[in-house]
A and B are shown apart, each in its own frame.
Chain A
């Protein structure tokens, strides 16, 4: 059970504005991995994460999810991979403002076609310590709380791969620790492969493995 990147390059734009955000990246995310990705701003970390999660496609190279090459897959199959195998935590920890915390967590369950969405979502929010904020809208939550909702949402469909982009950015050390403990627990107890993109050396130091990216290249 792996996500494997083979000679992946990603070019944004074309002609004079073309920009190579990733260059020949080779990388394997194994089952149970706990990896941090560090690198300067603009080095291609978010790009890498999007490609690993089948949200974006490489310009050249191949992404294999559980051994299956993805370049020829259609929308339906790619969506299926995202919904069944991958959980995202985006850099801006975006939540749907029209929905309360509970509904935000229910969203992935809806597209998965689950029946007892409310119970499952409520349990997930309880597990991140937000059992009393189920009906708060994003604007009624603190930054740290929003981030925990995002993690609960990412976990809703029990993904094997949890791809997180700056999950502790903008948080104080206490909230930050809570989030990291949560990720570590998911990794050790539920065997979820976790990727954490971070600027923070302390955060990087708790992971089992570290990857450094500079100018789109893994070094």
Chain B
């Protein structure tokens, strides 16, 4: 049977190729979106774990905007340092780490997020022991990528400029913190000319089960907003899944368009091959044989188109970050390839092939042998 289908496809290479391209473009879009959003989901989760904070205490108002700012390395708004002891005094609070986060220029080379913080950050992020937090701690990309070593001095410039010795370089985490530099809080306040102000406080709890009570207690403090980190990330994930659903819907339209191309090609094939169908019937092909031939051809077209589509999608994802970086809410991500997504594409392609083939295959099978032979 395969050789019969192959003989037809071989004779109409251009048309077959164009037909497949229709489905392939749809599949490519789907695969790209699935892989991209898979990557984004993954890095949001990764980020959530790596921030280390269980509760964010931020200045009151525009909560979503401020959380995104924190993740993006450029905090929005400030609050006085005096809230820190108040936060620390709340029941169930284990660590309360104040931070000041803004972007500054390093070594007159690059602009990067600078996080001013205290020694307790080392505990929160599990960096290991730091004797005196009196210098800069560099993310792996900034150290390895730029050849800066422990003991080197870096220059940071914003409102003011400061020089700091690198006291530690961090291991790669795969999150945007690889691009961060951590410095003492007071140095950051000096650098940005914001003495006495902080951007946020990262809080961990003794008993994470009591998150709700703790958040309520923290919110009693004036002019601050305490946000349970889990909820904040969930909110980002939810916003993102709506976007994702919309993108997939658009992909659906592309795939339906591809299906129509296939239906059109297969219907034309039935019309063109009428005499061949009649001939096959004359030499003994049953209606089922004819039906099967057209169905298999249609499904085969879609499956091959699916393979092409996945390859196009893969190629695109590999050049895409050079055009537009993959980032949502400041979270960098790389595409996530999963067998699950590949399978999903194949199942959809199989469905498209089946649905597109059904009408042409039935009409081919139902041709009366004698009419088909006459080309009627």
Q: Give the interface of A toward B (CB within 8 A).
A: 50, 53, 55-56, 75-76, 79-80, 82-84, 88, 90, 94, 96-99, 103, 106-108, 110-112, 153, 156-157
Contacts and interface: CB of A to CB of B under 8 A. Distances in A.
Contacts of B289: 79, 111
B316 interface: no
A115 to B, nearest CB: 13
Nearest to B283: A108
B4 A79 contact: no
A157 B8 CA distance: 23
A88 B275 CA distance: 14
Nearest to B12: A98
Nearest to A51: B370
Contact of B8 (A50, A56, A98): A98
Contact of A111 (B8, B280, B369, B370): B280
A96 B281 CA distance: 13
Given A55-B370, A56-B370, A99-B7, A75 B282 contact: no
A103 B4 CA distance: 8
A79 B373 contact: no
B280 A53 contact: no
A88 B283 contact: yes
B53 to A, nearest CB: 68
Nearest to A54: B369
Contacts of B144: none
Given A96-B276, A110-B1, A111-B286, 12 more contacts: A55-B282, A79-B287, A90-B282, A90-B373, A98-B276, A103-B4, A107-B4, A107-B283, A108-B284, A110-B3, A111-B284, A111-B285
Interface residues of B, number: 23
A158 B287 CA distance: 22
A184 to B, nearest CB: 23
A112 B286 CA distance: 10
Contact of B283 (A75, A76, A82, A99): A82
Contacts of B369: 55-56
Contacts of B283: 82-83, 88, 107-108, 111, 153, 156-157
Given A55-B373, A98-B11, A99-B7, A88 B280 contact: no
Main secondary structure of the interface of A (DSSP, over half): helix
Contacts of A76: 286, 288
24 contacts: A53-B282, A55-B282, A56-B370, A75-B287, A76-B288, A79-B289, A80-B284, A82-B282, A88-B282, A94-B373, A96-B279, A98-B276, A103-B3, A103-B4, A103-B7, A107-B4, A107-B280, A107-B283, A108-B284, A110-B1, A110-B3, A110-B4, A111-B283, A157-B283
Contacts of A50: 370
Interface string B128-155: 0000000000000000000000000000
Nearest to A156: B283
Q: List the 8 shortest-distance A-B pairs measured between CB atoms, nearest first.
A: A83-B284, A108-B283, A79-B286, A56-B370, A98-B11, A111-B284, A111-B285, A82-B284
Nearest to A117: B3
B88 to A, nearest CB: 82
Contacts of B287: 75, 79
Interface in B1-35: 1, 3-4, 7-8, 10-11
A99 B280 CA distance: 13
